[in-house]
C-alpha cells in the first residue's frame, strides 16, 4: 500500500525566441494525494499542465520547486532508488511506448528482472504469463512483437508492464485517447478492475469529463497550471463551481453532462445515475460507458 503525496508543485520552462528568453509557468502550486483504492482524475483543456504533472511524477521532468513523495504504509517516505518499484506510468501512445524490435515477453521480463520480481527464464516466463492473464490477453501473444498487436492490446501490455515491478501507484496519462472506442472502454474498465483487485492508487489524466466522472472517485480541474476546482467526481461534474469547470462541462459533447448543467433537472437516482454516455468522435456516435466490460476487444481489438 503506497500513497503519493504531491505538495506545492511548480514547473517553469524557459522559452527562447532569438535572443529573448521568457519563463512559462506550466504548473503552479499543485497539491494532491493519491491513496490506495482510489482513482483521482486530473482534467483540463489542452495545455493546462496535466502532462507536465505526470512527467514530474514519472521523474521525466524535475520540478522547479515542490515535492513528490511515495509514502509506505508505515508513513515513511520511500527511498529514491525504490520509487519506480512503487510508481509507474501508462502513457498515451501505445505505439510509441513499446519497442518494435522486442517481443511482448521481453517488455514484461525486463521490469520483472530489473525490479527483482523474478529470476531465471522459467520463473520470468511464468510471471509474464500471469501478467498477460491479468490484463485479459491470451498468453500466446507472448512471442509476438508490438506491431502484431492492436492498439488496445498494446495498451494492455503497457498496463501489464506497469504492474510488473509490483507498483501500487499508477499514473495513466490519456491512456485511451489514441484507441478506437471499443478498446477504449475495455481498457478503462480493466484499469478499474486492477485498481480494485490490487488496491491501487490511480491518477487518471484526461480531457474527457464523462469518463473522468465514471471511472474516478474525485476530480481535480486544472487550468493554466493551477488546480481551480476539486471534489467528489459527481459534484464537480454535475454542479461545477468554478467558471472554467462550467465552461468545460458546457463544451463537453455529452448531452447528459451539458443538459444537467443547463437545466435545473433533479439528480437521477442510483441505477440511472451510473448510466453515462461518451461521444466517439471518429465513429460519430454516442457510446454507453456502462455497456463496456474489461475484456471487450481484449483479444480482437
Ligand X SMILES: Nc1ncnc2c1ncn2[C@@H]1O[C@H](COP(=O)(O)OP(=O)(O)OP(=O)(O)O)[C@@H](O)[C@H]1O
By CB under 6 A, the residues from 189 to 248 that bind ligand X are 207
Instruction: Give the count of residues interacting with ligand X (CB under 6 A).
Output: 13
CB nearer ligand X, residue 62 or residue 81: 62
CB nearer ligand X, residue 137 or residue 158: 158
**Euclidean distance between CA atoms 19 and 195, whole angstroms:** 49
User: Residue 195's beta-bridge partner residues?
Assistant: none
Per DSSP, 157 falls in state H
The CB-nearest residue to ligand X is 51
CA atoms within 13 A on the CB side of 22: 5
126 backbone dihedrals φ, ψ, rounded to 5°: -60, -45
Give the x-and-dash track for 101-140 against ligand X (CB under 6 A): ----------------------------------------
Using CB under 6 A as the binding rule, whether residue 22 contacts ligand X is answered as: no
Q: Residue 86 is placed in which grid cell?
A: 512503487
Give the x-and-dash track for 23-52 against ligand X (CB under 6 A): -x-x-----------------x-xxxxxxx
Smallest distance, Å, CB 47 to ligand X?
Answer: 4
- Contact predicate 221/233, CB 8 Å: no
Q: Residue 143 is placed in which grid cell?
A: 512471442
Q: Residue 83 is placed in which grid cell?
A: 520509487
**Euclidean distance between CA atoms 52 and 60, whole angstroms:** 9
Binding residues for ligand X (CB under 6 A):
13, 15, 24, 26, 44, 46-52, 207
Amino acid at each position: 500500500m503506497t500513497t503519493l503525496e504531491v505538495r506545492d508543485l511548480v514547473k517553469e520552462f524557459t522559452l527562447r525566441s532569438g535572443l529573448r528568453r521568457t519563463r512559462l509557468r506550466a504548473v503552479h502550486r499543485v497539491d494532491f494525494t493519491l491513496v490506495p483504492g482510489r482513482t483521482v482524475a486530473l482534467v483540463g483543456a489542452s495545455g493546462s499542465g496535466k502532462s507536465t504533472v505526470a512527467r514530474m511524477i514519472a521523474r521525466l521532468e524535475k520540478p522547479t520547486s515542490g515535492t513528490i513523495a511515495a509514502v509506505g504504509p508505515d508513513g515513511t517516505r520511500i527511498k529514491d532508488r525504490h520509487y519506480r518499484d512503487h510508481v509507474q506510468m501508462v502513457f498515451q501512445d501505445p505505439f510509441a511506448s513499446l519497442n518494435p524490435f522486442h517481443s511482448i515477453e521481453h517488455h514484461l521480463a525486463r521490469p520483472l528482472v530489473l525490479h527483482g520480481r523474478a529470476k531465471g527464464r522459467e520463473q520470468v516466463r511464468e510471471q509474464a504469463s500471469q501478467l498477460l492473464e491479468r490484463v485479459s490477453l491470451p498468453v500466446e501473444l507472448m512471442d509476438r512483437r508490438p506491431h502484431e498487436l492492436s492498439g488496445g492490446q498494446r495498451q494492455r501490455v503497457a498496463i501489464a508492464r506497469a504492474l510488473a515491478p509490483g507498483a501500487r501507484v499508477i499514473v495513466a496519462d490519456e491512456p485511451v485517447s489514441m484507441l478506437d472506442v471499443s478498446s477504449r472502454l475495455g481498457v478503462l474498465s480493466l484499469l478499474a478492475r486492477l485498481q480494485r483487485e490490487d488496491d491501487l492508487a490511480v491518477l487518471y489524466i484526461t480531457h474527457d469529463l464523462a469518463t473522468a466522472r465514471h471511472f474516478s472517485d474525485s476530480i481535480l480541474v486544472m487550468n493554466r497550471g493551477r488546480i481551480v476546482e476539486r471534489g467528489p467526481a459527481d459534484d464537480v461534474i454535475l454542479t461545477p463551481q468554478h467558471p472554467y469547470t462550467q465552461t468545460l462541462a458546457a463544451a463537453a459533447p455529452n448531452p447528459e453532462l451539458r443538459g444537467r448543467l443547463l437545466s435545473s433537472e433533479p439528480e437521477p437516482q442510483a441505477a440511472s445515475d451510473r448510466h453515462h454516455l461518451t461521444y466517439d468522435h471518429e465513429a460519430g456516435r454516442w457510446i454507453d460507458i456502462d455497456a463496456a466490460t474489461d475484456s471487450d476487444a481484449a483479444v480482437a481489438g
